[in-house]
Amino acid sequence: MIPPVPQKVLVMDDAEQALLARCRANDLLAFEEVVHRYKNKVHNYIARMVNDADDAEDLTQDVFVKAFISLGSFRGEASLQTWLYRIATNLCIDRARRRKRQRWDTMSLDEPVRDDEDDEIGRDVPDVEADPYRHLERKELRQQVRRALGRLSEKLRAVIVLYDVQGLSYEEIAQVLGCPLGTVKSRLFNARAELAKHLKPYLYGEGAEPHA
């Protein structure tokens, strides 16, 4: 059993309510404090969602610009963090839709993509000539995990990143995504199962039967 992710139940406390009230009164210092508190969390989430450092920075900017404009429509039912994650998720999904439309005719399987550690890696075509029983080094494993993440749908990726990377609770994820708790659990299972399915060929070799 792996150690559980620290579960945090984030509700808006009095200090956060006061901060929000100051933001609504166009207090830029208060908004700067919000940005300072959450910028890296939001960036880390987006970086795992889009797997592109430059886009992650730009999208994180967009999240806070949108938050600034939408302060009036934020009801304060969820914590600021939950709200920011919700905006980030929507922006990531919008970006994915745009890119799918734009790249439908132009994407090449041989075209290299850059991961966030500046490693040139090929697209996800299994190399059947490789040693099927090789053990992956940690860095290579992370690359495989990133690729596997990239193959998940945005909805599955959002759940697994929010839970396993960002450390949110099921309840918070349900708030972020606006879906029932059962859906969160089922998506988390599906995401992890997909991840495992993509990793198995690299862990056990192409077509090899796993050992007990």
Residue keyed to tokens 């040693």: 131
Among 17, 40, 102, 153, binds another protein (CB under 8 A): 40
In the bound state with another protein, the residue whose beta carbon lies nearer, of 125 and 212, is: 212
In whole angstroms, what is the distance from residue 144 CA to residue 100 CA? 22
Bridge partners of 113, per DSSP, are: 121
Q: Which is nearer to another protein, 40 or 102 (CB)?
A: 40
The verdict on 78 binding another protein (CB under 8 A) reads no
Q: What gap in Å lies between CA 186 and CA 173, rounded to an integer?
A: 12
Q: Which amino acid is at 39?
A: K
Site for another protein in 7-26 (CB under 8 A): 24-26
Q: Which of 34, 49, 50, 56 binds another protein (CB under 8 A)?
A: 56
- Find the helix or strand (DSSP H, E) in which 9 lies: none
Chain centroid offset of residue 168 CA: 12
Q: Which is nearer to another protein, 61 or 90 (CB)?
A: 61
Which x/- pattern over 139-178 shows residues binding another protein (rule: CB under 8 A)? --xx--x--xx----------xx--xx-------------
Cβ–Cβ < 8 Å for 125, 112: no
Query: Any contact of residue 73 with another protein (CB under 8 A)?
Result: yes
Q: Torsions phi, psi of 178, nearest 5?
A: 65, 40
d(C-alpha 106, C-alpha 102), whole Å: 8
Contact 109, 123 (CB under 8 A): yes
Residues forming contacts to another protein in the complex (CB under 8 A) are: 1-2, 4-5, 24-26, 28, 31-32, 35-36, 39-40, 43-44, 47-48, 53, 56-57, 60-61, 64-65, 68-69, 71-73, 116, 138, 141-142, 145, 148-149, 160-161, 164-165, 185, 188-189, 192-193, 195-197, 199-200, 203-204, 209-212
